[in-house]
Structure formats: C-alpha cells, structure tokens
Amino acid sequence: TQLLEQSPQFLSIQEGENLTVYCNSSSVFSSLQWYRQEPGEGPVLLVTVVTGGEVKKLKRLTFQFGDARKDSSLHITAAQPGDTGLYLCAGAGGGGADGLTFGKGTHLIIQP
Amino acid sequence: GAVVSQHPSWVICKSGTSVKIECRSLDFQATTMFWYRQFPKQSLMLMATSNEGSKATYEQGVEKDKFLINHASLTLSTLTVTSAHPEDSSFYICSANSYWAGSYNEQFFGPGTRLTVL
C-alpha cells in the first residue's frame, strides 16, 4: 500500500509570508498531483509533476518533484487570504487506471 | 474542458433506504471513473475504481454489496448506497480520467455529493 505523508496538517500565517507544504513517501510514484479543495466542493487540480527533479511554477506557487519521485513540495510566496484552503497531494501508480493515493491534506489559513 | 458533474449535490435520507449518486463526464469520455469518500476534516479515501462495461474494483474494507457501482457508458457512473446507515453519512466525490497525448493519469473531480443519513 502506497502512503503519502503530508505536512504540516494545519498552518495559519499572516498575509505576505512564505510557506512550504511537504509530501513524502517511501514509494515511487509515476506522477504526483497537487489539488486545492474548498469546503463542500471537489478538489481542483493545480499541477501534475512527472519527472524527477521537475519544478513547475503557477504564479506564486512553486511545485517540485523529488529526484527519486518519492516526495514533492509546494511553496507559496507572499501568501494572500485568497490562498486559504485545503491543499492535497496525490500520487499515481504506474498503471493508467489507478486511483490516486491522497495525503491527509494541509489546512491553510492566511490571515489578512 | 474536462468537466465532471455529480447529482445530487446533497441528499438526506432515512436509515435503511438506498441512495443513488450519479457522476457524469460532460465534455469527454472517461473509460475509468473513481469513487472517493471524505469525512469531515479528513482527506479523500479511494473506495472503488469503475470501468465502463465491467465490474468495479473495490478497495480493501469497502463492501461491494453495500456500495453498488454501475458504469453503463463512457460518460456515466453511478454509486448506490444500499440500506444506508448514519455511519455512511459522508462527502462522496467521483473523478474521471481524461487521457490525451502527453497526459499522465490526471483526474478531474466532480463537485461532490453530501449524504446525510438520519
């Protein structure tokens, strides 16, 4: 069974600060995805990383996939109240029809 | 593109009744759809993988006779919670694979269905 450890579980910071969320596993994933979920809604895909060492940027969000494809990080620069939400990492196995293994999520609150 | 819908958005039912939840891919064909369950303040847990025209594959600990899945077409999968009990109250979310050249098992999620069993 593949497991994803996501940390921190809860994070509350002031507007303008930077933060990093980590997603770690002992298993190798063919790809890893980051989602953001608002209360009462389904997760929305932010990014997919596939290649070991890959870095992708989405405005103030920077996503990195570890060289061994076992871990990933999400870094937010100059956080804004609109960044508040639940961030989920999810790993996909080698098979195309595999369901995703989700981390427990990071509840992020950005205070104005 | 890659929009997934769910119906209903929320449902309240009495204990012992059955509830059907629909998941539709609106603008693409999904060979595989997935059903997840999410309890308050927790992450998503995969319940089953639904393949068009074949039996669903259930994760360990998920009762296939209680959670009936039918994937009748490439755009529709249904989850029926049979003889629902209060402990089945949860947020049920479906997702669908959207494959095209260069994509990697990207799943697009529906908006979820909130089930409350009284």
Chains A, B: CB contacts under 8 A, how many?
71
Query: pLDDT band at B102, cuts 50/70/90?
Result: very low
Mean pLDDT of A65-90: 95
- B86 by DSSP, 3-state: which? helix
Does B55 score more than 90 pLDDT? no
pLDDT on residue A44? 92
- Mean pLDDT over residues B9-26, rounded? 96
Nearest-CB residue to B93 (from A30, A42, A90): A42
Q: Which residue of A has its CA nearest to B97?
A: A97
Shortest CA gap A112–chain B (Å): 23
Residue B104 predicted with pLDDT over 70? no
Task: Say yes or no for a CB contact (<8 Å) between A42 and B111.
Answer: yes
Does B92 touch chain A if contact means CB atoms closer than 8 Å? no
Give the distance from CA A9 to its chain's centroid: 12
Place of tokens 């994760």: B59
Q: What is the pLDDT of residue B53?
A: 80
CA distances from A99 to A8, A109, B16 (A): 24, 29, 29
**Contact call for residues A48 and A31 (beta carbons, < 8 A):** yes
Q: What is the mean pLDDT of residues A78-90?
A: 95
Q: Is B88 helix (H, G, I), strand (E, B) or coil?
A: helix
Written as six digits, the tokens of A111 are 């205070």
DSSP 3-state assignment of A52? Answer: coil
CA angle B61, A23, A110 (to 5 degrees): 110
Residue A12 has which token pair? 């509350």
CA distance B11 to chain A (A): 13
Can you tell me the mean pLDDT for B20-47?
Answer: 90
Give the range with max mean pLDDT: A12-21, A27-36, B27-36, B94-103.
A12-21
Give the rounded percent of residues in chain A with a pLDDT score beyond 70. Answer: 95
Residue pair B96/B29 in contact (Cβ under 8 Å)? The answer is no
Closest residue of chain B to A34, computed from CA coordinates: B106
Instruction: Assess whether pLDDT exceeds 80 at residue B26.
Output: yes
CB contact under 8 A, B105 and A103: no
Dihedral pair phi/psi, residue A81, rounded to 5°: -55, -30
